[in-house]
Amino acid sequence: MAALSHYPSFSRRLSLFSSPPSSHCIQTVLVNLDPSRLWTQNRSYRGSWAPRLGSRRCFCSAVAKQEEAGVVRVDSIGDIVRPDFPILHQEVNGSKLVYLDSAATSQKPSLVLEKLYGYYENYNSNVHRGIHYLSAKATDEYELARKKVANFINAEDRREIVFTKNATEAINLVANSWGLSNLAPGDEVLLTVAEHHSSIVPWQLVAKTTGACLKFVRLTEEEIPDIGEFKSLLSKKTKIVIIHHVSNVLGSTLPVEEIVRWSHAVGAKVLVDACQSVPHMVVNVQSLDADFLVASSHKMCGPTGVGFLYGKDELLSTMPPFLGGGEMIADVFLDHSTFAEPPSRFEAGTPAIGEAIALGAAVDYLSYIGMQKISEYEKELASHLYHSLHSIPGVRIYGPAPSDTVHRAALCSFNVEGIHATDIATILDQQHGVAIRSGHHCAQPLHRYLGINASARASLYFYNTKQDIDDFIEALKDTISFFQLLERTPEKAHEVSSE
């Protein structure tokens, strides 16, 4: 059983947020952060108070001071923001938690938790369906969250943002609404072998219904999708291209702007899976010119249960509903119905109101730090992670090696010779409190292409530090030694594991 420490109860934690931020904030020198911003050690944002973009009011509880009076320590972004993430301050199996599974889901800052709780505590009501104060307040906050997401990815209009329960639903929406209406026998859908299952399965189902076929781009020797092969497969038969922006296994980034330009030249639409890019870098949908783009809240410091679809207005306006019910209608008669304009057309029923509002708070949080600063910091982490892992004998890392022209995402999928990935993840957790993921990472076709059935994956976010990486590397070395000892002398290894 995991032993939890330094983790206040929910009711106790709420008491930390009882007043607006103190004006007596401590300034610190921040690596890669705007020094004009103030940060406070007092976690104080609750109820109606919320940070305003561009304001000098404090919203982060993240100042680090040296013991000597008047001396301020220079810290990384990870060091500075960690106090905002209560879950990171605990022990797991007797060791300090080292969380390296952010590609699966990110942790949530207290500001986001408070925003979610504040909705249910102060103005819980259904949206768009009432004239009373609570309903109006909930509606305003819900639609404000939509506007925040639109601004975050530089959509031209907030009506181009459709809230869904996750990115998977967003892809299914496009597949069933646009795909079933526009694909016919002989049409082609172009993907890569590195796509997430959520990008493959919906289009397999649509292809089976419409008679369209799926084509897949393979990898180069450097283990990145082959752009040359992509261009050779692209043709007038290609009706839509489904691509990831950043691979959740390989850590590679695709040149989306060029892919969109080539695809549009043959009349194809493009859907971008941005689940691993929107949380980590600046994403500008107008610059990318993608027709559709999807992302999930829970990977960008927001709650689970909500994601979004970006779609160009001229496309969404022509697409039929995905689900039927309340909210998505204009008028309902006994023999037919007419439908609302987007985005309401695609948001049938009561949405995840509190979750969407908390996603808006996550966008505020990320925007205050700055996505460019987050991206630059994570490049440092990515390089440190890759080179540290690469230095361990017997470790095989998948995806391209970093270079002056190749920047990996802050994740590494890997295997250790002679040891199963799940065994590695188990011992790292039970003996060292290190959380990584093992398995196929919802990318079975890619793992088969690589000739493996599973891999271990360490994935980072801006709240991680180089110390987290160093702790992971030491724990991994110890884990490898444990299995080597087990292979040589099983009885001795059992004694070590019991200590």
- Helix boundaries (H) for 371-465: 371-390, 421-432, 444-450
Burial class of 91 by CB neighbour count within 10 A (0 to 12, 13 to 18, 19+): middle
Instruction: Retrieve residue 226's tokens.
Output: 């082959």
Q: What is the DSSP string of 293-352?
A: EEEEGGGTTS-SS-EEEEE-HHHHTTPPPSS-SSSSEEEE-SS-EEEPPTTGGG--SS--
With CA atoms as reference, report the closest residue to 118 among 18, 7, 6, 9.
18
Q: How many CB atoms lie within 10 A of CB 453?
A: 12
Instruction: Retrieve residue 249's tokens.
Output: 């296994």
From 58, 60, 275, 442, active-site residue = 442
Instruction: Confirm whether 442 is a catalytic residue.
Output: yes
Instruction: Retrieve residue 371's tokens.
Output: 């996505």
Which contiguous run of DSSP H or E holds residue 437? strand 437-439
- CA 319 to mean position of chain CA atoms: 27
How far is Cα 164 from Cα 170, in angstroms, rounded to an integer? 6
Instruction: Retrieve residue 486's tokens.
Output: 């087990």
| Unique residue bearing structure tokens 């200590």 | 499
Instruction: Retrieve residue 180's tokens.
Output: 């079933």
DSSP 20: P
Q: How many CB atoms lie within 10 A of CB 279?
A: 27
| Long-range pairs of 489-498 with CB within 8 A, sequence gap ≥ 24 | 497/431
Type of residue at 363: V
Catalytically active residues, by annotation: 442
